[in-house]
Amino acid sequence: MFKRAKELKFLPNNRFLRSMNFRFMVFLFLIGTVPLFVFSGAVLSAYKSQAVTRLGNDVSNQCQILATQIGSTGYLDRVGNETLAGELMQMATLNDGRIIIIDQDLQIVEDTYELEKGRTMVAEEVIRCFKGESTGRNISGRFIEMTVPIVAGGEENKTIIGVILASASTDSITARLEELWRATETWLVAIAICVFALSILLSNWLVRPLRHMNQSIGGLVEGSLDGDLDIHDCTETEVISNTFNSLLAKLRLMEESRQEFVSNVSHELKTPLASMKVLADSLLMQEGAPVELYQEFMQDIADEIDRENSIISDLLTLVKTDRKTTELNVTPTDINEFLELILKRLRPIAATNNIELVFESNRSVNAEIDPTRLSLAFSNLVENAVKYNHENGWVRVTLDADHKFFYVKVSDSGIGIPEESIDYIFERFYRVDKSHSREIGGTGLGLAITRSAVVAHRGAIRVQSSLEEGTVFTVRIPIRYIA
């Protein structure tokens, strides 16, 4: 119970997280804010490195000037010189740092911090500076440190008589940077909030056509499938709504044909029953009817029962063949032999009507077919050719093939099909002449069964006919079965 409540509670959240709306929102927000933050960070870090370099250059210049002054005036000899000390102090305060002057004996002669005056300095960079190696500039933590040699003498007898060790604090740069960042931060947060609000609006706008579509489909589903989808928000929804409308049209057609089929079936099944009822009633009403009459009527009733039976078995076959799930039982088959066998079975029926039944084959054909299903299909065609024929007529079955298909043609010298009926003969229960078809035992389902079997083989069926001259049915089936 608790678990279910928990699930229900989180369901809307999960749905929102999986929604396109949420994805658009995140995407737009990231696109709007990430470059902004990256750009601000880059600008601030460029500013910092530039400021540090500039400070380093300034301190270095000041040290150079100082070194030149000391070198040329020999200030180092006059340790404790007030002017020098003042100048150093001023420079150190200005840079928020420290300046130490070391003489040739590595003795600290001036220290603006007044901490190490008189001591010996053996720092590595100082010794290197005395050796004439390049003046180092070193940024460590919050300070820039550098060593500058003090040179005395002319061009020929240059000697390093001391070293200035100076340091300057980068705190002011850091403080300025922090100030800048604070100002930028406020702007960035304000912009991020605006971008967030905008991404909510935009993502909602982007998914609006989908919502609209869902509402319209929902309306149709709740209704009676009447009406069409008409969404012109964008090209994509227009395409989807057109496709959906084709699907709706198909559904309506299927529903119509289902209803028609049900009413046809009930009508067809009721006809033999009605006949039987009439026959039975008239027998019952005639008192003392002769046995011959009974026999005759009972024979009629038996015929009607046979008819009802054949309608039901044809219907069952049709339902079975129509079902999508019915897989074909495909086997390689010798089509010549297969057709010969069908004709052999039908020859007695043809003989009773005095109809000549011939088979012509141009080549031997082997194909992958379901013999049971196709045997039914071809039997129906040949039976029809015999049934709807004239006395002493003929039926010709020919077989031909190319590299892809085999073709079976069933021609007859029969009564033909009127032009206006040609389009309907494959429909269930359609008969050109109902009473004639009934008389000769037709159910109106034979051609529907035939077409269904041919289509299941990915084949095609065509018909040509002229009244009182005859009819030709041509069936085309692929030699290799295409699943």
Residues 385-404 that bind ligand ADP (CB under 6 A): 385, 388
Q: Residues in contact with ligand ADP, total (CB under 6 A)?
A: 23
* Residues with Cβ within 8 Å of residue 357, at least 6 apart in sequence: 343, 346, 347, 350, 382, 386, 394, 395, 397
Among 167, 216, 375, 384, binds ligand ADP (CB under 6 A): 384
**Closest approach of Cβ 273 to ligand ADP, in Å?**
19
In the complex with ligand ADP, the residue whose CB is nearer, 385 or 399, is 385
Among 417, 453, 461, 477, binds ligand ADP (CB under 6 A): 417
Among 471, 475, 476, 477, binds ligand ADP (CB under 6 A): 471
Among 66, 432, 453, 477, binds ligand ADP (CB under 6 A): 432
**Closest approach of Cβ 441 to ligand ADP, in Å?**
8
**Closest approach of Cβ 306 to ligand ADP, in Å?**
14
Q: How many CA atoms lie within 13 A of 449 on its CB side?
A: 26
Does residue 409 belong to the site contacting ligand ADP (CB under 6 A)? no
Stretch that binds ligand ADP, among 110-118, 157-165, 333-341, 430-438 (CB under 6 A): 430-438
Does residue 425 belong to the site contacting ligand ADP (CB under 6 A)? yes
Does residue 62 belong to the site contacting ligand ADP (CB under 6 A)? no
Does residue 415 belong to the site contacting ligand ADP (CB under 6 A)? yes
Stretch that binds ligand ADP, among 79-87, 143-151, 254-262, 427-435 (CB under 6 A): 427-435
Does residue 408 belong to the site contacting ligand ADP (CB under 6 A)? no
Among 112, 203, 237, 443, binds ligand ADP (CB under 6 A): 443
The answer to whether 314 touches 448, Cβ cutoff 8 Å, is no
Among 412, 451, 454, 475, binds ligand ADP (CB under 6 A): 412
Among 33, 112, 437, 452, binds ligand ADP (CB under 6 A): 437
**Closest approach of Cβ 394 to ligand ADP, in Å?**
12
Does residue 272 belong to the site contacting ligand ADP (CB under 6 A)? no
Stretch that binds ligand ADP, among 172-180, 221-229, 265-273, 381-389 (CB under 6 A): 381-389
Among 431, 451, 457, 476, binds ligand ADP (CB under 6 A): 431
In the complex with ligand ADP, the residue whose CB is nearer, 293 or 467, is 467
Does residue 66 belong to the site contacting ligand ADP (CB under 6 A)? no
In the complex with ligand ADP, the residue whose CB is nearer, 236 or 439, is 439
Contact residues for ligand ADP, defined by CB under 6 A: 380, 384-385, 388, 412, 414-417, 425, 430-433, 437, 442-448, 471
